[in-house]
Structure 1
Amino acid sequence: MRNEKPIVELRRLTKDYGGVRALNDVSLSIHEGELLFIVGDNGAGKSTLVNILSGAVMPNAESEILFKGKPVRIATPKQAQGMGIFTVYQDLSLCNDLNAFQNIFLGNELTRAARLNHESMERRTRDLFGEIGSNVPNPSAPVGTRSGGQRQAVAIAKALLLPSKVVLLDEPTAALGVIQRKQVSKLTRSLRDSGHAVVVVSQDLDEVVKSADRAVVLRIGEIESVLEGGTFTRDDLVAHITGIHSS
């Protein structure tokens, strides 16, 4: 259930790249227990928005970001993670030669008597997969041998290992087959149901219609509309994305 008090508030979010304005005066609230989709055509500002929230890009000076009601400056991805904002990019940033638990615990390894505690990390990995309702058999196999949906599960499980409150997913179903897209859809809903604020950048409009609690349509760097889940169709989304509703 969506928490009515936002965990993140964006106020007048603006970003210029030289003479190009990628985002212009974007104000948006993000709530825990919410599955929020960001949609729009190429160049709409979706990636810039995610990069600002993840700490990879700094917005213009007039922009303001509030986290749990307090103004913050997210200068680096490490700082964003420290606040509880975790980003899963389209390329997943996984090490293909490492197995599931090695990827999940990379940089946060468990030790016992000054040695890596593989048993505890593998057991915790299985628990994490259970929390998100995912079946990834044999966590000791290299993730490079896994399907796209299983690799997404590994990346999302890492978000659960950390004290994350907000999970950003950048095109999680791109280049996936039908079955794998269903797996990822289940994962995002499980994250939402566990109380996370889940923000998904997606081109899969059918999935947006099916799963969104809210959908934010960006157009030429500005919010064209914010649509409540269950109140719009795929054709409605297309009309908003192309600007027909604005004319």
Structure 2
Amino acid sequence: MTMEPMNQIMMKLEQLQKQMNELQSTTEKVDAFISPNTPSREVKIYKSANKKSTLDVTSMLSGSKMYNKNKHEEFTYKGKIIIGITEHGKDYEKAYLSKGRAKVILSEMLNHTFSKRYGVGFSRDNGVHIHGGSVKDGKVRGRILSIFYTDRNQYVFQIEEGPAEKTETGAFKLKKKERKVQKFLSLDEALEMAHEVKDYIGHEEMVNHLRGAPLYDILPTEYPRAVANT
């Protein structure tokens, strides 16, 4: 058995070191991109558009801004799915949906049980209604995101917006509906959207869990380093 000349061994070591440096560089770039300490990323997961209106579903799930530190030293998670509707030539409105609520609604759509649970047709007794709002410059604005299933096998996404009041529990109560936008989706479009959004949520949960910053409330003893430094 012959031994390799020293210069060949050194060349192989240099090549190995170069490969390790390239791997480290790639890892650092990926780590920086998915780090919970980076600014929040808004990713457009789904879009449906026609001449009348456009529906966008956007993710705002990860990033250090998705956590609030409360008086109990816990990091409370506040990531959302954003539903945006544009009626061309009219208005644009967006509403926010919690990650957990989104998964429930999407599962009902994918299991074809939405109409059984929420009914068929347009009324306050049918569909699912998510109330929200915001306060800007002292003005309270409320919004209601409604999702209906019709007797024509369509899903209708609707956002109503207007002045509101904030209750003692922190909820928003819409006083007057000033704007309303809608987007109709065929059954196939709605199922495509539901698959894409639900899968994306699952992927984000897995990636961030492996990073040590799960997309849930985090107790003081379980602070991920990147979040604890924010």
* Structure number with bigger Rg: 2
TM-score, normalization: structure 1? 0.24
- Which protein has the bigger strand share? 2
1 or 2 for the larger relative contact order (CA 8 Å, sep ≥6)?
A: 1
| TM-score of the aligned structures, taking structure 2 as reference length | 0.25
